[in-house]
Amino acid sequence: MANLTLSIDEELLKRARVCALEQDTSVNSLVRGYLQEFVTGGTQRSGMQDFLAWAQTVHAGSGPGGRTWTRDELYER
């Protein structure tokens, strides 16, 4: 495995270490995971997962009684 040296803001590194500890992992592991997602297109999957999670919180719908029309009624001319 190769080594990588990064230059980042000290405060950012401190905050990253705290977040990593909260997730019971290391900053190194987080960076490795982010790079893996980046090169495999994981950001698209992550974006879709975020959207689906958000969609679960939306309280829009047909109301408590459900739909009162059928598809054929909707398209009657």
The answer to whether position 43 is within a domain reads yes
Residue 4 has pLDDT above 80, yes or no: yes
Chain segment 47-59, per-residue pLDDT in tens: 778 888 888 887 6
Q: 32, 26, 25: which is closest to 4 by C-alpha? A: 32
Which residues form the domain of 17? 9-49
Condensed to tens digits (0 to 9), the pLDDT of residues 16-31 reads 999 999 999 999 999 9
What's the total number of domains in the chain? 1
Is 64 a member of any domain?
no
Helix (H, G, I), strand (E, B) or coil at 56: helix
Is the confidence at residue 44, as pLDDT, over 80? no
Q: Which two tokens stand for residue 74?
A: 């909707």
In a domain, 69, yes or no: no
Question: With 70 as the cut, is the pLDDT of residue 60 above it?
Answer: no
Q: Residue 67 is which amino acid?
A: R
d(CA 39, CA 37): 6
Classify residue 27: in a domain, yes or no.
yes
